[in-house]
Structure 1
Amino acid sequence: MEGAIPRASSEKRVALVTGGNRGMGFEICRQLASGGLAVVLTARDERRGAEAVGRLRRLGLPDVVFHQLEITEPASAARLADFVRDKFGKLDVLVNNAGIMGVTMDVGDEVAVKEMMAGKDQNEIAAWLKQQTTQNTQQGEECLKINYRGTKTVTEALLPLVQSSDGRIVNVTSAFGLLRFFSGEELRQELSSVDTLTKQRLDELSALYLEDSKSGDLERRGWPTDPVYSAYQASKALLCAYTRILARDNPALRVNCVHPGYVETEMNCNTGNLTAAEGASVSVAVALAEQGGVTGAYFDRTEIASFL
Protein backbone atom coordinates (compact mmCIF):
# COMPACT_ATOMS: atom_id res chain seq x y z
CA MET A 1 0.00 0.00 0.00
CA GLU A 2 2.85 2.39 0.76
CA GLY A 3 3.34 4.92 -2.02
CA ALA A 4 0.01 4.07 -3.68
CA ILE A 5 -1.08 6.44 -6.47
CA PRO A 6 -4.66 7.77 -6.60
CA ARG A 7 -6.77 6.72 -9.52
CA ALA A 8 -7.05 9.18 -12.39
CA SER A 9 -9.99 11.58 -12.31
CA SER A 10 -11.21 14.41 -14.48
CA GLU A 11 -11.94 16.40 -11.32
CA LYS A 12 -9.18 17.21 -8.86
CA ARG A 13 -9.65 15.58 -5.49
CA VAL A 14 -9.50 17.75 -2.37
CA ALA A 15 -7.72 16.84 0.87
CA LEU A 16 -7.57 18.59 4.24
CA VAL A 17 -4.89 17.99 6.86
CA THR A 18 -5.04 19.17 10.47
CA GLY A 19 -1.78 20.15 12.12
CA GLY A 20 -0.17 20.58 8.73
CA ASN A 21 2.37 23.32 9.33
CA ARG A 22 5.30 21.20 10.50
CA GLY A 23 6.76 17.73 10.89
CA MET A 24 4.70 14.79 9.75
CA GLY A 25 1.64 16.95 9.04
CA PHE A 26 3.63 19.09 6.64
CA GLU A 27 4.91 15.96 4.91
CA ILE A 28 1.38 14.58 4.59
CA CYS A 29 0.38 17.82 2.85
CA ARG A 30 3.42 17.68 0.58
CA GLN A 31 2.87 14.07 -0.43
CA LEU A 32 -0.86 14.53 -1.06
CA ALA A 33 -0.20 17.63 -3.17
CA SER A 34 2.55 15.77 -5.04
CA GLY A 35 -0.04 13.07 -5.76
CA GLY A 36 -2.20 15.57 -7.61
CA LEU A 37 -4.67 16.59 -4.90
CA ALA A 38 -5.69 20.11 -3.94
CA VAL A 39 -4.74 20.45 -0.26
CA VAL A 40 -6.12 22.58 2.56
CA LEU A 41 -3.35 22.90 5.14
CA THR A 42 -4.67 23.84 8.58
CA ALA A 43 -2.88 24.97 11.70
CA ARG A 44 -3.60 26.89 14.89
CA ASP A 45 -0.97 29.57 14.21
CA GLU A 46 -1.79 31.68 11.15
CA ARG A 47 1.77 32.85 10.53
CA ARG A 48 3.25 29.36 10.68
CA GLY A 49 0.47 27.94 8.54
CA ALA A 50 0.96 30.58 5.86
CA GLU A 51 4.72 30.01 5.92
CA ALA A 52 4.18 26.27 5.45
CA VAL A 53 2.00 26.90 2.39
CA GLY A 54 4.70 29.19 1.04
CA ARG A 55 7.31 26.43 1.40
CA LEU A 56 5.10 23.99 -0.47
CA ARG A 57 4.48 26.42 -3.29
CA ARG A 58 8.20 27.03 -3.63
CA LEU A 59 8.52 23.27 -4.07
CA GLY A 60 6.29 23.56 -7.15
CA LEU A 61 3.00 22.63 -5.46
CA PRO A 62 0.62 25.53 -6.17
CA ASP A 63 -2.66 23.79 -5.27
CA VAL A 64 -2.24 24.24 -1.51
CA VAL A 65 -4.17 26.75 0.57
CA PHE A 66 -4.12 27.59 4.27
CA HIS A 67 -6.98 28.00 6.70
CA GLN A 68 -6.62 28.65 10.40
CA LEU A 69 -8.09 26.03 12.72
CA GLU A 70 -8.39 25.69 16.48
CA ILE A 71 -9.68 22.14 16.65
CA THR A 72 -11.11 22.47 20.14
CA GLU A 73 -13.45 25.30 19.12
CA PRO A 74 -16.67 24.32 17.29
CA ALA A 75 -16.95 27.82 15.79
CA SER A 76 -13.49 27.48 14.25
CA ALA A 77 -14.36 24.08 12.80
CA ALA A 78 -17.60 25.52 11.40
CA ARG A 79 -15.69 28.36 9.72
CA LEU A 80 -13.33 25.82 8.17
CA ALA A 81 -16.26 23.78 6.84
CA ASP A 82 -17.80 26.91 5.32
CA PHE A 83 -14.48 27.73 3.64
CA VAL A 84 -14.13 24.26 2.12
CA ARG A 85 -17.76 24.27 1.00
CA ASP A 86 -17.47 27.70 -0.63
CA LYS A 87 -14.11 27.07 -2.32
CA PHE A 88 -14.38 23.42 -3.35
CA GLY A 89 -17.94 22.26 -2.70
CA LYS A 90 -16.65 18.94 -1.33
CA LEU A 91 -13.88 17.16 0.54
CA ASP A 92 -12.49 13.83 -0.63
CA VAL A 93 -9.81 13.18 2.00
CA LEU A 94 -9.61 14.26 5.64
CA VAL A 95 -6.42 13.46 7.57
CA ASN A 96 -6.72 14.20 11.28
CA ASN A 97 -3.06 14.59 12.18
CA ALA A 98 -3.15 17.30 14.88
CA GLY A 99 -2.39 16.07 18.38
CA ILE A 100 -0.30 16.54 21.49
CA MET A 101 1.39 14.35 24.09
CA GLY A 102 0.18 16.58 26.92
CA VAL A 103 3.44 16.37 28.85
CA THR A 104 6.53 18.37 29.76
CA MET A 105 9.90 17.05 28.62
CA ASP A 106 12.98 18.51 30.30
CA VAL A 107 15.70 17.26 27.96
CA GLY A 108 17.96 20.23 27.37
CA ASP A 109 18.85 21.49 23.92
CA GLU A 110 19.11 19.65 20.60
CA VAL A 111 22.84 19.00 21.08
CA ALA A 112 22.21 17.37 24.47
CA VAL A 113 19.56 15.09 22.96
CA LYS A 114 21.85 13.99 20.13
CA GLU A 115 24.67 13.27 22.59
CA MET A 116 22.31 11.18 24.68
CA MET A 117 21.16 9.16 21.65
CA ALA A 118 24.68 8.23 20.56
CA GLY A 119 25.24 4.50 20.89
CA LYS A 120 21.80 3.78 22.38
CA ASP A 121 19.06 1.60 20.94
CA GLN A 122 15.46 2.74 20.62
CA ASN A 123 14.35 1.16 23.90
CA GLU A 124 17.12 2.89 25.83
CA ILE A 125 16.26 6.23 24.21
CA ALA A 126 12.57 5.81 25.04
CA ALA A 127 13.38 4.92 28.65
CA TRP A 128 15.62 7.98 29.02
CA LEU A 129 12.98 10.24 27.50
CA LYS A 130 10.33 8.95 29.89
CA GLN A 131 12.58 9.73 32.85
CA GLN A 132 12.68 13.35 31.72
CA THR A 133 8.90 13.57 31.24
CA THR A 134 6.17 14.75 33.61
CA GLN A 135 2.44 15.36 33.32
CA ASN A 136 -0.01 17.25 35.49
CA THR A 137 -3.81 17.07 35.59
CA GLN A 138 -4.28 20.15 33.42
CA GLN A 139 -1.97 18.75 30.72
CA GLY A 140 -3.88 15.47 30.75
CA GLU A 141 -7.16 17.29 30.32
CA GLU A 142 -5.74 19.29 27.39
CA CYS A 143 -4.49 16.05 25.82
CA LEU A 144 -7.99 14.53 25.73
CA LYS A 145 -9.49 17.86 24.69
CA ILE A 146 -7.30 18.03 21.58
CA ASN A 147 -6.60 14.42 20.60
CA TYR A 148 -10.11 13.05 21.05
CA ARG A 149 -12.66 15.83 21.44
CA GLY A 150 -10.95 18.23 19.04
CA THR A 151 -10.57 15.62 16.32
CA LYS A 152 -14.21 14.66 16.78
CA THR A 153 -15.32 18.31 16.60
CA VAL A 154 -13.52 18.91 13.30
CA THR A 155 -14.61 15.62 11.79
CA GLU A 156 -18.28 16.17 12.61
CA ALA A 157 -18.12 19.67 11.08
CA LEU A 158 -16.54 18.38 7.86
CA LEU A 159 -18.37 15.05 7.59
CA PRO A 160 -21.22 16.33 5.37
CA LEU A 161 -18.60 17.43 2.81
CA VAL A 162 -16.90 14.01 2.73
CA GLN A 163 -20.06 12.12 1.83
CA SER A 164 -18.92 11.22 -1.67
CA SER A 165 -18.84 7.78 -3.22
CA ASP A 166 -15.16 7.46 -2.29
CA GLY A 167 -14.58 9.73 0.71
CA ARG A 168 -11.65 8.97 3.01
CA ILE A 169 -10.98 9.80 6.66
CA VAL A 170 -7.62 8.90 8.21
CA ASN A 171 -7.10 9.43 11.93
CA VAL A 172 -3.47 9.43 13.05
CA THR A 173 -3.28 7.42 16.26
CA SER A 174 -0.58 5.55 18.19
CA ALA A 175 0.20 2.04 19.33
CA PHE A 176 -0.06 3.59 22.81
CA GLY A 177 -3.82 3.69 22.25
CA LEU A 178 -4.26 -0.07 21.97
CA LEU A 179 -6.58 -1.68 24.49
CA ARG A 180 -3.83 -3.89 25.90
CA PHE A 181 -2.88 -0.94 28.10
CA PHE A 182 -6.29 -1.02 29.82
CA SER A 183 -6.55 -3.29 32.87
CA GLY A 184 -10.34 -3.06 33.15
CA GLU A 185 -12.02 -5.89 31.27
CA GLU A 186 -15.40 -4.15 31.28
CA LEU A 187 -13.84 -0.99 29.84
CA ARG A 188 -11.97 -2.94 27.17
CA GLN A 189 -15.16 -4.76 26.20
CA GLU A 190 -17.13 -1.52 25.98
CA LEU A 191 -14.54 0.17 23.76
CA SER A 192 -14.45 -2.95 21.57
CA SER A 193 -18.23 -3.27 21.18
CA VAL A 194 -18.49 -1.42 17.90
CA ASP A 195 -22.04 -2.59 17.18
CA THR A 196 -23.46 -0.85 20.25
CA LEU A 197 -20.95 1.88 21.14
CA THR A 198 -22.10 5.48 20.56
CA LYS A 199 -20.40 8.85 20.21
CA GLN A 200 -22.29 10.05 23.28
CA ARG A 201 -20.90 7.19 25.32
CA LEU A 202 -17.37 8.00 24.16
CA ASP A 203 -17.86 11.56 25.39
CA GLU A 204 -19.06 10.16 28.72
CA LEU A 205 -16.01 7.89 28.97
CA SER A 206 -13.74 10.84 28.21
CA ALA A 207 -15.32 12.72 31.12
CA LEU A 208 -15.01 9.67 33.39
CA TYR A 209 -11.31 9.36 32.61
CA LEU A 210 -10.73 12.97 33.66
CA GLU A 211 -12.80 12.41 36.80
CA ASP A 212 -10.77 9.34 37.76
CA SER A 213 -7.50 11.09 36.88
CA LYS A 214 -8.30 14.07 39.12
CA SER A 215 -9.22 11.77 42.00
CA GLY A 216 -6.00 9.77 41.52
CA ASP A 217 -7.90 6.52 41.01
CA LEU A 218 -7.36 5.41 37.41
CA GLU A 219 -7.32 1.77 38.50
CA ARG A 220 -10.96 1.94 39.60
CA ARG A 221 -12.24 1.44 36.05
CA GLY A 222 -9.04 0.03 34.62
CA TRP A 223 -7.68 2.99 32.67
CA PRO A 224 -4.00 3.05 31.63
CA THR A 225 -2.02 4.02 34.73
CA ASP A 226 1.29 5.11 33.24
CA PRO A 227 2.32 8.17 35.29
CA VAL A 228 3.16 10.31 32.25
CA TYR A 229 1.47 8.78 29.21
CA SER A 230 -1.91 7.69 30.61
CA ALA A 231 -3.93 10.60 29.18
CA TYR A 232 -2.28 10.18 25.78
CA GLN A 233 -3.11 6.46 25.80
CA ALA A 234 -6.72 7.11 26.78
CA SER A 235 -7.12 9.85 24.16
CA LYS A 236 -5.85 7.64 21.36
CA ALA A 237 -7.96 4.66 22.47
CA LEU A 238 -11.05 6.88 22.37
CA LEU A 239 -9.98 8.11 18.92
CA CYS A 240 -9.66 4.53 17.68
CA ALA A 241 -13.15 3.74 18.98
CA TYR A 242 -14.51 6.89 17.34
CA THR A 243 -12.91 5.79 14.05
CA ARG A 244 -14.77 2.49 14.20
CA ILE A 245 -18.08 4.19 14.97
CA LEU A 246 -17.61 6.52 11.98
CA ALA A 247 -16.87 3.55 9.73
CA ARG A 248 -19.96 1.74 11.01
CA ASP A 249 -22.28 4.71 10.56
CA ASN A 250 -20.87 5.80 7.18
CA PRO A 251 -20.45 2.63 5.10
CA ALA A 252 -19.88 4.56 1.87
CA LEU A 253 -16.68 6.08 3.32
CA ARG A 254 -13.29 4.52 4.05
CA VAL A 255 -12.53 5.50 7.67
CA ASN A 256 -9.34 4.12 9.23
CA CYS A 257 -6.75 4.95 11.85
CA VAL A 258 -3.00 4.75 11.41
CA HIS A 259 -0.04 4.29 13.74
CA PRO A 260 2.78 5.82 11.66
CA GLY A 261 5.59 4.36 13.77
CA TYR A 262 8.04 6.17 16.04
CA VAL A 263 8.55 9.28 13.94
CA GLU A 264 10.99 12.14 14.55
CA THR A 265 8.74 14.96 15.79
CA GLU A 266 8.89 17.80 18.25
CA MET A 267 6.54 15.77 20.45
CA ASN A 268 9.32 13.25 21.16
CA CYS A 269 12.23 15.73 20.90
CA ASN A 270 13.11 14.24 17.49
CA THR A 271 14.20 10.92 19.01
CA GLY A 272 12.18 8.79 16.59
CA ASN A 273 13.71 6.22 14.26
CA LEU A 274 11.60 7.23 11.25
CA THR A 275 11.71 10.49 9.33
CA ALA A 276 8.65 12.71 9.03
CA ALA A 277 8.41 11.70 5.36
CA GLU A 278 8.44 7.99 6.26
CA GLY A 279 5.76 8.51 8.88
CA ALA A 280 3.60 10.58 6.56
CA SER A 281 3.76 8.03 3.75
CA VAL A 282 1.55 5.61 5.70
CA SER A 283 -1.32 8.05 6.20
CA VAL A 284 -1.05 9.10 2.56
CA ALA A 285 -1.05 5.51 1.32
CA VAL A 286 -4.17 4.68 3.36
CA ALA A 287 -5.85 7.88 2.20
CA LEU A 288 -5.15 7.11 -1.45
CA ALA A 289 -5.71 3.36 -1.46
CA GLU A 290 -7.82 1.84 -4.20
CA GLN A 291 -11.55 2.39 -4.08
CA GLY A 292 -13.55 -0.14 -2.08
CA GLY A 293 -10.79 -0.95 0.38
CA VAL A 294 -10.93 -1.71 4.07
CA THR A 295 -12.76 0.55 6.53
CA GLY A 296 -12.85 0.65 10.32
CA ALA A 297 -9.32 -0.75 10.54
CA TYR A 298 -6.17 0.01 12.51
CA PHE A 299 -2.94 0.17 10.51
CA ASP A 300 0.36 -0.43 12.27
CA ARG A 301 2.46 1.20 9.58
CA THR A 302 1.32 -0.60 6.41
CA GLU A 303 -0.11 -3.70 8.10
CA ILE A 304 -3.67 -4.07 9.38
CA ALA A 305 -3.47 -5.02 13.06
CA SER A 306 -5.70 -5.61 16.09
CA PHE A 307 -7.06 -2.79 18.25
CA LEU A 308 -6.13 -4.95 21.23
Structure 2
Amino acid sequence: MSQRFQNDVAVVTGGGAGIGAATCRRLAREGAHVVAVDWDGESAEETVDAIHRDGGPESLAIETDVSDESAVAEMADRVDERFGAVDALVNNAGIRVDPKPVTEADEASWDRVLDVNLKGTAFCSKHLVPLIDDGSGGAVVNVASVGAGWARENWAQYDATKGGIVSMTHDMACDHADQDIRVNAVSPGWVITEYHVGDRTGQAAREFVDEKTTRGGSDENILERAAKPDELAAAICFLASDEASFLTGVNVPVDGGASVI
Protein backbone atom coordinates (compact mmCIF):
# COMPACT_ATOMS: atom_id res chain seq x y z
CA MET A 1 0.00 0.00 0.00
CA SER A 2 1.22 3.49 -0.87
CA GLN A 3 2.50 5.71 1.92
CA ARG A 4 0.38 8.81 1.33
CA PHE A 5 0.79 9.93 4.94
CA GLN A 6 4.44 9.14 5.58
CA ASN A 7 5.31 10.68 8.98
CA ASP A 8 2.13 12.77 9.01
CA VAL A 9 0.12 13.02 12.23
CA ALA A 10 -3.59 12.25 12.05
CA VAL A 11 -6.11 12.63 14.87
CA VAL A 12 -9.26 10.50 14.63
CA THR A 13 -12.10 10.96 17.10
CA GLY A 14 -14.30 8.00 17.82
CA GLY A 15 -11.20 5.97 16.98
CA GLY A 16 -12.03 3.04 19.22
CA ALA A 17 -14.56 1.25 17.03
CA GLY A 18 -16.37 1.14 13.71
CA ILE A 19 -15.50 3.69 11.05
CA GLY A 20 -13.07 5.47 13.38
CA ALA A 21 -11.03 2.37 14.19
CA ALA A 22 -10.95 1.36 10.52
CA THR A 23 -9.76 4.86 9.59
CA CYS A 24 -7.02 4.74 12.23
CA ARG A 25 -5.76 1.43 10.86
CA ARG A 26 -5.87 2.64 7.26
CA LEU A 27 -4.02 5.86 8.06
CA ALA A 28 -1.35 3.92 9.94
CA ARG A 29 -0.91 1.45 7.06
CA GLU A 30 -0.31 4.46 4.84
CA GLY A 31 2.39 5.83 7.12
CA ALA A 32 0.63 8.19 9.55
CA HIS A 33 1.24 8.54 13.25
CA VAL A 34 -2.31 8.13 14.51
CA VAL A 35 -3.94 9.60 17.60
CA ALA A 36 -7.02 7.51 18.38
CA VAL A 37 -9.39 9.56 20.54
CA ASP A 38 -12.40 7.94 22.17
CA TRP A 39 -14.54 8.32 25.29
CA ASP A 40 -13.81 4.61 25.85
CA GLY A 41 -10.10 4.67 26.57
CA GLU A 42 -9.76 0.89 26.43
CA SER A 43 -11.16 0.71 22.90
CA ALA A 44 -8.79 3.48 21.78
CA GLU A 45 -5.89 1.52 23.30
CA GLU A 46 -7.03 -1.60 21.43
CA THR A 47 -6.95 0.33 18.15
CA VAL A 48 -3.41 1.57 18.81
CA ASP A 49 -2.25 -1.86 20.00
CA ALA A 50 -3.49 -3.33 16.71
CA ILE A 51 -1.56 -0.67 14.78
CA HIS A 52 1.63 -1.47 16.66
CA ARG A 53 1.15 -5.26 16.29
CA ASP A 54 0.95 -4.69 12.53
CA GLY A 55 4.27 -2.83 12.62
CA GLY A 56 2.67 0.59 12.21
CA PRO A 57 4.27 3.89 13.20
CA GLU A 58 4.27 5.34 16.70
CA SER A 59 0.66 6.11 17.62
CA LEU A 60 -1.22 7.29 20.67
CA ALA A 61 -4.56 6.58 22.36
CA ILE A 62 -6.27 9.31 24.37
CA GLU A 63 -9.46 8.90 26.37
CA THR A 64 -11.56 12.03 25.78
CA ASP A 65 -15.21 13.01 25.89
CA VAL A 66 -15.44 15.34 22.90
CA SER A 67 -18.50 17.05 24.38
CA ASP A 68 -16.31 18.42 27.20
CA GLU A 69 -14.30 21.35 25.84
CA SER A 70 -11.82 21.33 28.69
CA ALA A 71 -11.11 17.65 28.05
CA VAL A 72 -10.68 18.36 24.34
CA ALA A 73 -8.23 21.18 25.13
CA GLU A 74 -6.20 18.80 27.32
CA MET A 75 -6.22 16.21 24.54
CA ALA A 76 -4.94 18.78 22.05
CA ASP A 77 -2.17 19.75 24.47
CA ARG A 78 -1.10 16.09 24.70
CA VAL A 79 -1.04 15.80 20.92
CA ASP A 80 1.01 18.98 20.66
CA GLU A 81 3.43 17.80 23.33
CA ARG A 82 3.90 14.40 21.71
CA PHE A 83 3.96 15.29 18.01
CA GLY A 84 4.20 19.08 17.73
CA ALA A 85 1.77 19.42 14.83
CA VAL A 86 -1.21 17.79 13.14
CA ASP A 87 -1.65 17.15 9.43
CA ALA A 88 -5.14 15.65 9.38
CA LEU A 89 -8.15 15.73 11.69
CA VAL A 90 -11.03 13.28 11.28
CA ASN A 91 -14.07 14.35 13.31
CA ASN A 92 -15.81 11.00 13.47
CA ALA A 93 -17.09 10.78 17.06
CA GLY A 94 -20.85 10.64 17.22
CA ILE A 95 -23.79 9.05 18.98
CA ARG A 96 -27.36 8.07 18.27
CA VAL A 97 -30.30 8.59 20.56
CA ASP A 98 -33.51 6.58 20.54
CA PRO A 99 -35.34 7.52 17.33
CA LYS A 100 -38.51 9.50 17.96
CA PRO A 101 -40.28 12.58 16.59
CA VAL A 102 -39.53 15.97 18.10
CA THR A 103 -42.91 15.91 19.85
CA GLU A 104 -41.63 13.04 22.00
CA ALA A 105 -37.93 13.92 22.37
CA ASP A 106 -36.87 15.22 25.78
CA GLU A 107 -34.36 17.92 26.60
CA ALA A 108 -31.76 15.48 27.95
CA SER A 109 -31.60 13.56 24.67
CA TRP A 110 -31.35 16.79 22.69
CA ASP A 111 -28.53 18.00 24.91
CA ARG A 112 -26.60 14.75 24.57
CA VAL A 113 -26.81 14.38 20.79
CA LEU A 114 -26.04 18.06 20.19
CA ASP A 115 -23.17 18.04 22.69
CA VAL A 116 -21.40 15.05 21.15
CA ASN A 117 -22.19 15.26 17.45
CA LEU A 118 -22.25 18.97 16.79
CA LYS A 119 -20.40 20.67 19.65
CA GLY A 120 -17.87 17.84 19.80
CA THR A 121 -16.97 18.40 16.16
CA ALA A 122 -16.68 22.14 16.83
CA PHE A 123 -14.57 21.73 19.99
CA CYS A 124 -12.12 19.32 18.34
CA SER A 125 -11.79 21.62 15.36
CA LYS A 126 -11.30 24.65 17.62
CA HIS A 127 -8.38 23.07 19.49
CA LEU A 128 -6.76 20.93 16.78
CA VAL A 129 -7.02 23.03 13.62
CA PRO A 130 -4.49 25.50 15.10
CA LEU A 131 -2.03 22.59 15.23
CA ILE A 132 -2.53 22.08 11.49
CA ASP A 133 -1.75 25.72 10.74
CA ASP A 134 2.02 25.35 10.52
CA GLY A 135 2.39 26.70 7.01
CA SER A 136 2.24 23.37 5.19
CA GLY A 137 -1.53 22.98 5.14
CA GLY A 138 -3.56 19.91 5.92
CA ALA A 139 -7.07 18.52 5.96
CA VAL A 140 -10.14 18.12 8.13
CA VAL A 141 -12.71 15.44 7.37
CA ASN A 142 -16.04 15.62 9.20
CA VAL A 143 -18.21 12.52 9.32
CA ALA A 144 -21.85 13.40 8.72
CA SER A 145 -24.59 11.06 7.45
CA VAL A 146 -26.86 10.59 4.46
CA GLY A 147 -29.59 11.41 6.98
CA ALA A 148 -28.48 15.03 6.77
CA GLY A 149 -30.21 15.27 3.41
CA TRP A 150 -32.94 12.66 3.73
CA ALA A 151 -36.50 12.83 5.03
CA ARG A 152 -37.19 9.88 7.31
CA GLU A 153 -39.42 9.18 10.26
CA ASN A 154 -38.22 9.59 13.85
CA TRP A 155 -34.62 10.63 13.12
CA ALA A 156 -34.98 14.40 13.53
CA GLN A 157 -32.49 14.71 16.41
CA TYR A 158 -29.65 12.71 14.85
CA ASP A 159 -30.20 14.05 11.34
CA ALA A 160 -30.32 17.66 12.58
CA THR A 161 -26.85 17.29 14.07
CA LYS A 162 -25.50 15.72 10.90
CA GLY A 163 -27.04 18.47 8.79
CA GLY A 164 -25.31 20.93 11.08
CA ILE A 165 -22.01 19.18 10.47
CA VAL A 166 -22.46 19.52 6.70
CA SER A 167 -23.16 23.24 7.06
CA MET A 168 -20.22 23.63 9.43
CA THR A 169 -18.02 21.90 6.86
CA HIS A 170 -18.96 24.42 4.17
CA ASP A 171 -18.16 27.37 6.39
CA MET A 172 -14.96 25.90 7.83
CA ALA A 173 -13.71 25.42 4.28
CA CYS A 174 -14.10 29.17 3.75
CA ASP A 175 -12.58 30.05 7.12
CA HIS A 176 -9.39 28.05 6.66
CA ALA A 177 -8.70 28.20 2.91
CA ASP A 178 -6.08 30.90 3.38
CA GLN A 179 -4.18 28.50 5.65
CA ASP A 180 -4.26 25.84 2.92
CA ILE A 181 -6.44 23.66 5.14
CA ARG A 182 -9.09 21.76 3.23
CA VAL A 183 -12.32 20.84 5.02
CA ASN A 184 -14.65 18.21 3.63
CA ALA A 185 -17.32 15.83 4.88
CA VAL A 186 -18.33 12.27 4.15
CA SER A 187 -21.89 11.08 4.58
CA PRO A 188 -22.02 7.33 5.15
CA GLY A 189 -25.04 5.29 4.22
CA TRP A 190 -25.63 1.99 5.96
CA VAL A 191 -22.32 0.74 7.37
CA ILE A 192 -22.16 -2.52 9.33
CA THR A 193 -20.35 -1.83 12.60
CA GLU A 194 -20.33 -3.32 16.09
CA TYR A 195 -23.57 -1.42 16.69
CA HIS A 196 -25.39 -3.51 14.08
CA VAL A 197 -23.70 -6.80 14.96
CA GLY A 198 -25.05 -6.42 18.49
CA ASP A 199 -24.89 -9.54 20.64
CA ARG A 200 -23.86 -11.82 17.80
CA THR A 201 -20.45 -13.43 18.25
CA GLY A 202 -18.12 -15.76 16.41
CA GLN A 203 -19.52 -17.46 13.33
CA ALA A 204 -22.94 -15.85 13.75
CA ALA A 205 -21.37 -12.37 13.68
CA ARG A 206 -19.26 -13.18 10.61
CA GLU A 207 -22.27 -14.61 8.77
CA PHE A 208 -24.35 -11.53 9.60
CA VAL A 209 -21.66 -9.18 8.30
CA ASP A 210 -21.12 -11.26 5.15
CA GLU A 211 -24.86 -11.37 4.46
CA LYS A 212 -25.39 -7.63 4.81
CA THR A 213 -22.25 -6.58 2.91
CA THR A 214 -22.79 -8.94 -0.04
CA ARG A 215 -24.91 -7.86 -3.00
CA GLY A 216 -28.50 -8.69 -2.20
CA GLY A 217 -28.10 -7.87 1.47
CA SER A 218 -29.94 -4.56 1.20
CA ASP A 219 -32.50 -2.88 -1.04
CA GLU A 220 -31.57 0.63 0.12
CA ASN A 221 -28.98 1.48 -2.55
CA ILE A 222 -27.78 0.75 -6.07
CA LEU A 223 -25.13 -1.72 -4.93
CA GLU A 224 -27.78 -3.58 -2.91
CA ARG A 225 -25.59 -4.06 0.13
CA ALA A 226 -24.26 -2.35 3.23
CA ALA A 227 -20.70 -1.04 3.47
CA LYS A 228 -17.85 -2.28 5.60
CA PRO A 229 -16.05 0.29 7.80
CA ASP A 230 -12.91 -0.12 5.68
CA GLU A 231 -14.79 1.26 2.67
CA LEU A 232 -15.58 4.46 4.56
CA ALA A 233 -11.99 4.61 5.80
CA ALA A 234 -10.76 4.56 2.21
CA ALA A 235 -12.91 7.56 1.30
CA ILE A 236 -11.90 9.46 4.42
CA CYS A 237 -8.21 8.83 3.78
CA PHE A 238 -8.54 10.00 0.20
CA LEU A 239 -10.08 13.30 1.34
CA ALA A 240 -7.36 13.69 3.98
CA SER A 241 -4.58 13.07 1.45
CA ASP A 242 -2.86 15.33 -1.04
CA GLU A 243 -4.64 13.41 -3.80
CA ALA A 244 -7.72 15.47 -2.90
CA SER A 245 -5.75 18.72 -3.05
CA PHE A 246 -8.43 20.60 -5.03
CA LEU A 247 -11.41 19.35 -3.04
CA THR A 248 -12.74 21.47 -0.22
CA GLY A 249 -16.14 22.35 1.17
CA VAL A 250 -17.81 19.26 -0.27
CA ASN A 251 -19.91 16.53 1.29
CA VAL A 252 -19.23 13.16 -0.30
CA PRO A 253 -22.05 10.60 0.04
CA VAL A 254 -20.45 7.19 0.56
CA ASP A 255 -23.73 5.32 0.39
CA GLY A 256 -23.67 2.82 -2.46
CA GLY A 257 -25.75 5.19 -4.57
CA ALA A 258 -28.65 5.48 -2.11
CA SER A 259 -28.77 9.27 -2.37
CA VAL A 260 -29.39 9.22 -6.15
CA ILE A 261 -32.23 6.70 -6.17
Measured after TM superposition, the shift of residue 265 of structure 1 is 1.9
- Which consecutive unaligned segments of at least 5 residues does structure 2 have? 199-211, 214-225
Q: Considering only CA atoms, is the larger Rg found in Structure 1 or Structure 2?
A: 1
Task: Describe the shift of the 1:36–1:136 C-alpha distance in structure 2 as closer, same or farther (beyond 3 A).
Answer: same
Q: How does 1:4-19 map to 2 (within 5 A)?
A: 6=4, 12-19=7-14
Residue aligning to 1:167 = 138
C-alpha separation in 2, matches of 1:25 and 1:72: 17
Amino acid corresponding to residue 156 of structure 1 in structure 2: K
Deviations 1:247-280 (A, max 9, x none): 1011121100001332112444576711111122
C-alpha separation in 1, matches of 2:2 and 2:182: 15
What is the SS of the residue equivalent to 1:293? coil
8 A Cα contact 1:92 1:168, kept in partner: yes
Measured after TM superposition, the shift of residue 49 of structure 1 is 1.8
Residue aligning to 1:89 = 84
C-alpha separation in 2, matches of 1:135 and 1:29: 34
C-alpha separation in 2, matches of 1:141 and 1:228: 17
Residue aligning to 1:276 = 229
Residue aligning to 1:230 = 156
Amino acid corresponding to residue 102 of structure 1 in structure 2: V
C-alpha separation in 1, matches of 2:243 and 2:72: 29
C-alpha separation in 1, matches of 2:153 and 2:191: 22
What is the SS of the residue equivalent to 2:227? coil
Measured after TM superposition, the shift of residue 52 of structure 1 is 2.3
C-alpha separation in 2, matches of 1:4 and 1:282: 15
C-alpha separation in 2, matches of 1:63 and 1:162: 19
C-alpha separation in 1, matches of 2:30 and 2:167: 30
Amino acid corresponding to residue 231 of structure 2 in structure 1: E
What is the SS of the residue equivalent to 1:86? helix
8 A Cα contact 1:40 1:65, kept in partner: yes
Amino acid corresponding to residue 285 of structure 1 in structure 2: F
TM-score by length of structure 1 reads: 0.67
Amino acid corresponding to residue 167 of structure 1 in structure 2: G
Residue aligning to 1:242 = 168
8 A Cα contact 2:24 2:47, kept in partner: no
Residue aligning to 1:296 = 249
TM-score by length of structure 2 reads: 0.78
What is the SS of the residue equivalent to 1:90? coil
Runs of 4+ in 1 over 3 A off after TM superposition: 134-137, 266-272
